[in-house]
Amino acid sequence: MKKSRFTDSQILDAVKRVEAGFAVPDICRELGVSTATFYKWRSKYGGEGRPFDVQDE
């Protein structure tokens, strides 16, 4: 399985920054990922008041 370029803590930080009011396109541009990737991260790691469900892979 391919190793992720980003750690769980980096992904969680990005999700929390968007919840704090930063724009999604700006965060994605800074990290070099697509908006679709960001929304996949948000669905996996929580966001919008949902509990975090981090699984070891």
Domain spans of the chain? Answer: 17-45
Greater confidence, 50 or 5?
A: 5
* pLDDT band, very low/low/confident/very high, at 28 (cuts 50, 70, 90): very high
Averaged over 9-20, what is the pLDDT? 92
For 5-13, which contacts have Cβ atoms below 8 Å and span 24 or more sequence positions?
A: 6/31, 6/33, 8/45, 8/54, 11/41, 11/45, 12/45, 12/46, 12/52, 12/54
pLDDT of residue 57: 44
Nearest to 42 by CA among 3, 22, 1: 22
pTM value?
0.71
